[in-house]
Amino acid sequence: MKFCNIKVSSNFFLAPMAAVTSLPFRLMCKKQGAGLTITEQINATQIARNPDPFTNNEFFTIRTVPEEKPVGVQLFGTVEKDFVKAVEVIEKNFDLININCGCPAPRETSIGAGAALLKKPEKIASIIEAIASVTDKPVTAKIRLGWNKNDAVKIAKVIDRAEPDAIMVHGRTADQKYMGEADYDAIKAVKDVIGCEVVANGDVDSAQKAEELLHKTGCSFGMIGRAAMKNPFVFKEIQEHSKGKDWIPNDKERIEAFFDYYEYCKKFDMIKVSDLKSKAIQFTKGIDFTKGTRVRLIGAKSEQEIVKALEEFLKQTTAK
């Protein structure tokens, strides 16, 4: 299957999430079947000011490895020449460039970036054109439906004139943040009027919801954010469901996913005990742990304690 001329293994992608979609997390989601991963948003101006961001630890969020492919990078900012410079420096490591036009955080909107760009779709169009002039990689934009009302069709039509390769649409306005339900009809209205690929996004947390998203929006591709944080298995669940099979991970698969994540964290020197502990608890939700294992997991204060508790549980269950 191809998306923007990139070979992808699935039509559901991992949405960019600041402070969540680290390299280990993206690799683990890829292993669970995410068709494409995208880095969290990265400041285009800061990259533009740095001669070699890949060797600078401050820019750990742009780290990627060949096994992650295909992978996109998401940039935020307002200054076209900074986007251009940033893309010239980092495009070699990525398969797709994405512009953040949806983040409602004041840190970004106060400087005219993120969702503030929705008030000036011509600006989004010129950023796309500027980036496309220096790269052959697909250039895409991730938008919300509008600033404080649904202007999605108007905004998408202006952006589409710049011939982006795709637009990712989160079916809420910036004002809504995460309130209410994502509006799939509004995403469909965009899909119906523009020429480029549309990736639908919002509220998918199961194979059934994924099916509903594609059915209601008419899109061929979808993106999952929050649900993947707690349930990265959702990608495989969707893939299996599309083959007519109902799948949920068994205890061993849940624990193995945690160990995949742990190994990636070790490999890239990105271990944080609090993060490991929350992943261990989230990924293993639904397992009927013995009381002892649960107490050890919740009380764990080091990575070794978390790992030991799960390893021993795994040994006990496989010995049965």
C-alpha pair distances (Å), 200 with each of 196, 274, 299: 13, 32, 40
For residue 315, the minimal CB distance to ligand FMN (Å) is 35
Q: Give whichever of 197 and 313 is closer to ligand FMN, judged by the CB atom.
A: 197
Q: Give whichever of 219 and 255 is closer to ligand FMN, judged by the CB atom.
A: 219
For residue 90, the minimal CB distance to ligand FMN (Å) is 16
C-alpha pair distances (Å), 312 with each of 229, 249, 302, 303, 319: 25, 19, 16, 14, 10
Closest Cα partner for 30 from 239, 179, 232?
Answer: 232
Contacts of 61 (CB under 8 A, 6+ apart): 22, 39, 40, 42
For residue 238, the minimal CB distance to ligand FMN (Å) is 12
> Which residue is closest to ligand FMN by CB?
225
Q: Give whichever of 125 and 224 is closer to ligand FMN, judged by the CB atom.
A: 224
Cβ(109)–Cβ(116) below 8 Å: yes
Sign of CA dihedral 257, 259, 264, 268: positive
Cβ(124)–Cβ(99) below 8 Å: yes
> Would you name the residues annotated as active-site residues?
103
Binding site for ligand FMN (CB under 6 A): 15-18, 20, 40-41, 74, 100, 102-103, 142, 170, 201-204, 224-227
For residue 265, the minimal CB distance to ligand FMN (Å) is 18
For residue 223, the minimal CB distance to ligand FMN (Å) is 7
Q: Give whichever of 181 and 263 is closer to ligand FMN, judged by the CB atom.
A: 181
For residue 37, the minimal CB distance to ligand FMN (Å) is 12
Contacts of 55 (CB under 8 A, 6+ apart): none
Cβ(303)–Cβ(297) below 8 Å: no
For residue 17, the minimal CB distance to ligand FMN (Å) is 4
Length of the chain: 320
Q: H or E segment at 63? A: none
Helix axes 303-319 and 273-283, enclosed angle (nearest 10): 30
Q: Give whichever of 166 and 204 is closer to ligand FMN, judged by the CB atom.
A: 204
Q: Give whichever of 102 and 121 is closer to ligand FMN, judged by the CB atom.
A: 102
Closest Cα partner for 34 from 69, 63, 5, 60?
Answer: 69
Q: Give whichever of 61 and 293 is closer to ligand FMN, judged by the CB atom.
A: 61
C-alpha pair distances (Å), 48 with each of 16, 23, 28: 21, 21, 29
Calculate ∠ Cα 60-310-306, nearest 5°. 50
Q: What are phi and psi of 110, to 5 degrees?
A: -65, -20
